[in-house]
Amino acid sequence: MGAGILGVGHYAPEHVVTNKDLEKIVDTTDEWIASRTGIEERRIAKEDEDSSDMAFYAAENALKDANIDAKDIDLILVATVTPDTPFPSVSCMLQDRLGAEHAAAMDVSAACTGFVYGLVTAQQFIEAKTYKHVLVVGVDKLSKITDWSDRNTCVLLGDGAGAAVVGEVSEGKGILSSELGSNGSRGSDLFQDKKNHLVMNGREVFKFAVRQMPESSVKVVEKIGLNKEDVDYLIPHQANIRIMEAARERLGIAEDKMAETIRKYGNNSSASIPIALSESVKQGKIKDNDLIVLVGFGGGLTWGAAAIRWGK
């Protein structure tokens, strides 16, 4: 028995901020944003709606999809860089709100790669038979660390949450291989400054991501003795359509075989991969026995990928 995904769910705030809206507050245009990033709109949480709230809504949806009661969750892992408070953790807040009374809880900080880190961590607990069910959530409220006067970053970011319930699946299914990595010497390329704002060296991050995403994707597929041609569906971190397309083309994957939610959600950090996964499942784009690859990169710098044979 391996470890795989039993259910998925996601949540996006109701408030939509379009590119036209951003034209009113910074020197930019709808055409410039859309052509360079692929983003047309993003969701922004209300002031009193925090990461723990969004995590709760996404987690409820994932539990329902998995047909698992919160009391049956043994561990909660929340990937976030925007917790409500430094402590208690978002995972502890979520444990209480869900009524997951038997669950241990901890947060994971790996920026946009956080969900992949959380998923691979959950796999270890399941395969070691330490726990039976692990809830993994990726959530970020980037709007609260966005400098809304910086036209280079504010056009990219949005808020949201995605979740997955991880547990035992039948032989040959589930998470088959993974790769996690970091390069702390590149931390200054993407970081949070003393003013609590996100700062990014876009050119350097772009070059890093275009190389790392396809490289990691190929590695996790080769680890299981397959080739890139065997990949049925790619779910990349939704950072920039040009980065995503570069990765897709290097892997030789058709356009309709790559998840794309950036147009309506923007980059919502650790939430972007699980939101894209949840939407793809709900839309029937991922089918039983498909080989899917999740791949992301983020501040740290960090990166991660996982090859998953879909199904229970």
Q: What is the pLDDT of residues 233-261, one digit of tens each?
A: 999 999 999 999 988 998 899 999 999 99
Catalytic residues: 112, 237, 267
Give the CATH superfamily of 2-169: Thiolase/Chalcone synthase (3.40.47.10)
How confident is the model over 133-178, as pLDDT tens digits?
Answer: 999 999 999 999 999 999 999 999 999 999 999 999 999 999 999 9
Decide: residue 232, CB within 10 A, 0-12 exposed, 13-18 middle, 19+ buried: middle
Shared fold status for 2-169 and 174-309:
yes
Local confidence pLDDT in tens for the 312 residues of the chain: 899 999 999 999 999 999 999 999 999 999 999 999 999 999 999 999 999 999 999 999 999 999 999 999 999 999 999 999 999 999 999 999 999 999 999 999 999 999 999 999 999 999 999 999 999 999 999 999 999 999 999 999 999 999 999 999 999 999 999 999 999 999 999 999 999 999 999 999 999 999 999 999 999 999 999 999 999 999 999 999 999 998 899 889 999 999 999 999 999 999 999 999 999 999 999 999 999 999 999 999 999 999 999 999
Residue 225 CA, chain-centre distance (Å), reads: 26
d(CA 166, CA 62): 10
Cβ atoms of 107 and 117 within 8 Å: the answer is no
User: According to the CATH classification, is domain 174-309 in 3.40.47.10?
Assistant: yes
Residue 303: predicted pLDDT: 98
Residue 140: predicted pLDDT: 98
Backbone phi, psi, residue 215, to 5°: -60, -45
Q: Where are the domains of the chain?
A: 2-169, 174-309
